[in-house]
Amino acid sequence: MAVTVRLEPAGRCRWDEPVRIAVRGLAPRQRITLRASLRDEKGALFRAHARYCADADGLLDLARAPALGGSFVGLEPMGLFWALEPEKPFWRFLKRDVQTPFAVELEVFDGHEPEPDGERLLGRAVHERDFLPPGVRREPVRAGRVRATLFLPPGPGPFPGIIDIFGLGGGLLEYRASLLAGHGFATLALAYCDFEDLPKKFDTIHLDYFEEALCYMLQHSQVKGPGIGLLGISLGADICLSMASFLKNISATVSINGSGFNGNIPIYYKETTIPPLGHDLRRMKVAFSGLLDIVDIRNDIVGGCENPCMIPIEKAQGPILFIVGQDDHNWRSELYAQIASERLQAHGKGKPQIISYPGTGHYIEPPYFPMCPASLHRLLDKPVIWGGEPRAHSKAQVDAWKQILIFFSKHLGASPKL
């Protein structure tokens, strides 16, 4: 009997959906190695492998069989995806073009040799994982100064709206917005630097640009008002917290490993300026791996939650959800979320929802994204560590995505498509 790799669902599926992997036609109790390989749009190779043992009927089902070694151990049905590692050091897993899927090659090898070779190849399958769910419409936006892409869910609409903002890496990343549209949200992936005619360097935050993007969403016939949701990670999270504090018609804000402080770039809105907290590069450490650890380079927070560099989140009209990686090495996200909670309570507001994940680093991505332990820092031009332990980080990403969808569904008025 030929060895076959079976996938459920059998066809293409979304990146944020789990897939069940089974191997049939093996000998009873046969020892095999499974390997997953993927190339990103820039040709960088990512790989993961795990060693397994078939059951008495010659069947291997990853939902029931634990991995005995390799890139991970234990019962991890999606381990071959979240454990993918780049061949090139310090290379972050990103989807740059959401209009094409990632093709993941799954190979079955006989035995438990450290390096699987072609002579022992028993079977293979190619599994396509998509970022543009069926029926989702992608519309480039060039409105006034706004440079963005709007993703609209299938159906007549109007839909609850979200603006999605990434960190200091620049450019226009669409993969989170396109996946959110698959869950029923009209989502605007918003660029703010190093894209088309936007500034190459980002050295001041002028909230009027982001207000223009907010107005675009509020006036769009396919976006349901009266308010919009905001989702941001890292500096993008702090921009979202600033928008929620100064702008109207924002119903809900999610901060993924934001700080709630103005770090190195002054924030301007009309007559108001929030000064930067600043940093001291002498506080940088060298980790055991030899990589830089920047977690403590920011200046001390004198005055705690009343520090003048803090974003005045007590002015936010809607609720805020803080998603926190306890092992974030970009900055101390857990401490910052606690200070944000203190500030809200000091100003007579209720405690915000804070979800903290142990063993979780800075880049909390949609489910099944491989963790980025270290990569090149845009400002330092050197590799830095971002923190996280792969298994814990992966579990956090699955739960955080679910929590984000529930939060936006509750406060923007939609039924969650989990």
β-pairing, 121-130 vs 353-357, is unpaired
Residue 362 bears catalytic tag: yes
Check 16, 328, 341, 377 and give the catalytic one. Answer: 328
CA distance 164 to 370: 20
Q: CA 144, CA 216: separation in Å to the nearest integer? A: 9
Q: Render the burial of 109-123: b for 16+ CB within 10 Å, e for the rest.
A: bbeeeeebeeeeebb
Closest by alpha carbon to 142, among 212, 236, 54, 80?
212
Shortest CA distance to 228 belongs to which of 297, 150, 287?
A: 150
Closest listed residue to residue 78, CA positions, set 406, 388, 366: 366
Exactly one of 37, 71, 178, 234 is catalytic; name it.
Answer: 234
Query: How far apart are alpha carbons 22 and 62 in whole angstroms?
Result: 6
Residue 36, strand partner residues: 48, 106
Strand-pairing partners, residue 138, are 151
DSSP code per residue over 302-340: TTGGG-TTB--GGG-SS-EEEEEETT-SSS-HHHHHHHH
Element at 67 (helix H, strand E):
none
Q: Quick one: tokens of 312?
A: 């005045």
Q: How far is CA 233 from the centre of its chain?
A: 8
Spacing of C-alpha 403 from chain mean position: 13
User: Cα dihedral sign for 381, 329, 323, 36?
Assistant: positive
In 167-222, DSSP assigns E strands to 186-190, 205-206
- Of 416, 418, 327, whose CA–CA distance to 367 is shortest? 418
Q: Which one of the listed residues 362, 377, 393, 411 is annotated catalytic?
A: 362
* 328 annotated active-site: yes
Neighbours of 247 (CB within 10 A): 20
3-state secondary structure of 20: strand
Hey, what are 174's tokens?
A: 């669409």
Active site residues: 234, 328, 362
